[in-house]
């Protein structure tokens, strides 16, 4: 079983996923380390704490929302949190994650992890703004370390415009209260703040019922 010892301290209820899922996540972590030598997937200073900083932080999302939904993961990068969710969805044999990543080298990495782990995901090597044309049926949206909350909502808006039931789940750092205040100048939304286990003061923001205020919004 390829499970980092830090798991038990981070998630005392680590049995919420199977041993097979932990093994897949371990394989994913090994591939990050291998590819990091040639592609800057994550900040080099976080490589020694890959599990705590990236893998387990991302796994919080599945712990909060384990239902097999159709996800859009915006700006996937190295796959956090979207690819972690996609690996966990193997527990259900349903649900799917659309990983949107415009960097071709990172997109190639994501495809390699999917091939090795059987993750329930597909890769779309386009910018988030162009993804709406090729994706349908999105039920939930995730993003981590991509943009300000106001910009994330602008990116998500085309998917929520005709489907207010779409959920948005965004990992945010210590300054997230200010981001929320700024975003409310442009957007109306319901918000639930989930305290992050990764760092005191950070959170995973659960947003729904997104509406657009009168101001023009342009994430570019």
What is the reported pLDDT for 1? 42
Q: How far apart are CA 82 and CA 71, in angstroms?
A: 8
Q: How far apart are CA 69 and CA 206, in angstroms?
A: 15
Of the chain, the percentage scoring pLDDT greater than 90 comes to: 80
Residue 8 forms part of a structural domain = no
Residue 219 forms part of a structural domain = no
- 140-163: average pLDDT: 94
In tens, the pLDDT along 34-56 reads: 999 999 999 999 999 899 889 99
Of the chain, the percentage scoring pLDDT greater than 70 comes to: 93
Residue 31 forms part of a structural domain = yes
Residue 220 forms part of a structural domain = no
Q: How far apart are CA 101 and CA 111, in angstroms?
A: 11
The boundaries of the domain holding residue 30 are 17-212
CATH number of the domain encompassing residue 107 = 3.40.50.150
Residue 39 forms part of a structural domain = yes
What is the reported pLDDT for 134? 86
What is the reported pLDDT for 178? 97
Residue 217 forms part of a structural domain = no
Distance of CA 38 to the CA centre of its chain: 23
Residue 11 forms part of a structural domain = no
Bridge-partner residues for 172, per DSSP?
203
Q: Average model confidence (pLDDT) for the chain?
A: 91
Closest of 140, 66, 71, 120 to residue 100, by C-alpha? 71
Q: How far apart are CA 161 and CA 219, in angstroms?
A: 16
- 6-27: average pLDDT: 84
Residue 7 forms part of a structural domain = no
In tens, the pLDDT along 88-113 reads: 999 998 999 999 999 999 999 999 99
What is the reported pLDDT for 4? 60
Tell if the pTM clears 0.85, that is, is over it.
yes
- Bond from prior residue into 81 cis (ω within 30 degrees of 0): yes
| Number of domains the chain contains | 1
Query: What are the strands of the beta sheet with 187-195, ordered from one edge?
Result: 121-124, 96-100, 70-74, 140-144, 167-172, 203-212, 187-195
């Amino acid at each position: 079983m390829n499970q980092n010892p830090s798991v038990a301290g981070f998630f005392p209820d680590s049995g919420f996923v199977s041993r097979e899922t932990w093994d897949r996540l371990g394989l994913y972590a090994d591939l990050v380390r291998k590819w990091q030598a040639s592609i800057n997937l994550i900040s080099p200073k976080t490589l020694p704490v890959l599990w705590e900083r990236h893998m387990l932080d991302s796994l919080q999302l599945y712990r909060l929302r384990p239902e097999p939904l159709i996800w859009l993961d915006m700006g996937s990068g190295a796959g956090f949190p979207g690819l972690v969710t996609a690996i966990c969805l193997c527990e259900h044999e349903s649900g799917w994650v659309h990983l949107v990543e415009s960097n071709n080298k990172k997109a190639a990495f994501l495809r390699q992890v999917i091939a090795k782990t059987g993750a329930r995901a597909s890769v779309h090597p386009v910018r988030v703004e162009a993804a709406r044309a090729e994706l349908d049926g999105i039920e939930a949206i995730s993003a981590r370390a991509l943009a300000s909350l106001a910009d994330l909502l602008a990116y998500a808006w085309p998917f929520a415009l005709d489907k207010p039931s779409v959920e948005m789940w965004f990992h945010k750092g210590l300054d997230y209260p200010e981001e929320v205040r700024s975003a409310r100048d442009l957007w109306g939304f319901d918000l639930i703040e989930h305290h992050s286990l990764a760092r005191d003061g950070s959170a995973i923001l659960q947003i729904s019922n997104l509406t657009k205020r009168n101001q023009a919004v342009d994430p570019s």
